[in-house]
Amino acid sequence: MRAILAVYDKRGVADFARGLHELGIELVATGGTARTITEAGLDVTEVADLTGSPEMLGGRVKTLHPKVHGGILYRRGLAEDEAEVERYEIPSIDIVASNLYPFIETITAGSPSLGDALEQIDIGGPTLIRAAAKNHPWVLPVVDPDDYDAILEALRAANGDPAGVTAEVRRRLAAKAFQHVAHYDTAVAEYLRADDDPFPAQLTVAATRREELRYAENPHQRGAFYRHDSVRVPAEGLGGFEQHHGKQMSYVNFLDADAAYNLACDFDDPAIAIIKHTNPACFALGDEGSSVAALYERALSEGDHLSAYGGIVATNRIVDMEFATALRDVLSPGAGTRMFYEIVVAPGYEPDALEHLKKKSKDLRILTAPLGEPRRARLEVRSVRGGLLVQDSDVSDDREFKVVSERQPSEAELADLRAAWIICKHVKSNAVAFVKGRVLIGMGAGQPNRVGSAELCREQAGERAQGAVAATDALIPFPDTVEVCAAAGCTVVAHTGGSIRDDESVAAANELGVSLVVTGVRHFRH
């Protein structure tokens, strides 16, 4: 019995080799792996000695040889194959342990030249792995160092004979091997793909499982969280999260935390977002240097604090002690009880603030997530039954609003309107948002008609809507939405524009004395 070892990730390979040696399995290895095994005091044959051919072309050709691939691929028990390996003196190779160059890590660590990037494209490794996986009824393909101990146990149970390992284990290893290569090739293809070709004819997405979830959307469903592995977009947002405290995350927790953090990070100024079921219940935006704790208290007192209870809090600033104290101790407005939250997510925490937050509840999930470049264009993938929908992200911009009414908005109203317009991007359609003093005071989401969302905003904002602005995520098809917003007390209304009845909405705005603004861009979110 013989094993060939050619690994970039050398974690545990010496102990694995020792276990194979103790089972009487001959060890063959490529240069760097052979040195690691030799340093562990084990005898190992270099691949070049097995093949009689030296490594060449700067290491590009090591294992690409008939004595390697013939030894892996021949079908045991098939007379023709057995005769050929005997005729050409090809030794049997029964275990292949290989993993690949760190292509993603190399590309994302800096800005390598094309030549440097090409040298990180592994050729021999994927070929070894695919050959072993193809012939897994007789050969064990091993790509994950975390599997070494289990494989040694399986081999011991089979008296050191790889063919005696159960078919179920061999199939699982083969599937993992092909997935390992597919993940790698996906990253290479993404790197080589032109920037102007975001939707190739064939698309694969590379991802690594971070954890299995306590449950999915409902307790009877299973779920897992995968980090998107990309050479173009480094791990950011929830893709690079670290959990400091609290219960394990669920499927819904990830959705809500992502929604809250995306909203907070869509602004450069300090921002606080409190999300419930992916929609903002409370939101406040400040100026550079604003106290995040004060923003939090404004968001809570002027927003939908009732819905905020049990929600997710996100900010785009480091959590300091003042904010941590507010999160832990501020009472629910009008209720006299401390606010309860499922998750807090931020780009970082001061050490004392983190320890203080941990005392709020043993269950509170406290997450750090890298800001990255939240307004960077990236692909979004969503599944439908039997297929995938792919789009580039809805990137906010500093759009110049076009005023189409007689009344002109003030600078303060325009500042509120910019906040309301971006908030709408994060509200389920049909969306309407009322904002005053850059604080969300009313939100209507997910209604079949836009005027229904406006009515929800008016009901939620009440008297606070006097002097507020309103924004909606698409065009206003009838003047009734303008009329509801004006009746609530809003002085400015923004929509995409482009309805065949735009003139009627303009006339209604002029009659009611409010400003009507068009953006030319739609922000649907389904």
What amino acid positions are annotated as catalytic residues? 134, 277
Instruction: Work out whether strand 271-276 and strand 279-285 pair parallel, antiparallel, or are unpaired.
Output: antiparallel
Per-residue three-class SS string for 232-283:
CCCCCHHHHCEEEECCCCCHHHHHHHHHHHHHHHCCCCCEEEEEECCEEEEE
Q: State which H helix or E strand residue 328 sits in.
A: helix 321-329
Q: Integer distance in angstroms from the first to the last C-alpha of the chain?
A: 57
- The CA distances from residue 179 to 99, 107, 173, 205, 233, in Å, are 12, 21, 10, 11, 21
- Provide, for the chain, the percentages of residues in helix, strand and coil under a 3-state DSSP scheme, each rounded to the nearest 5: 40, 20, 40
Q: Give Rg (Cα) of the chain.
A: 30
CB 418 within 8 A of CB 437: no
Residue 456's SS3 state is helix
Which among 202, 224, 206 has a CA at the least distance from the CA of 215? Answer: 224
Torsion of CA 187, 188, 191, 193, to 10 degrees: -110
Place of tokens 């394990």: 248
Contacts 24+ apart (CB under 8 A), 346-351: 346/314, 346/315, 346/316, 346/317, 346/318, 346/319, 347/316, 347/317, 347/318, 347/371, 348/318, 348/319, 349/244, 349/318, 349/319, 349/324, 350/318, 350/319, 350/320, 350/321, 350/324
Cβ neighbour number for residue 18 with a 10 Å cutoff: 16
Q: 274-294 as b/e, with b when 16 or more CB fall inside 10 Å? A: bbbebbbbbbbbbeeebbbbb
Task: Judge contact between 229 and 187, C-beta under 8 A.
Answer: yes
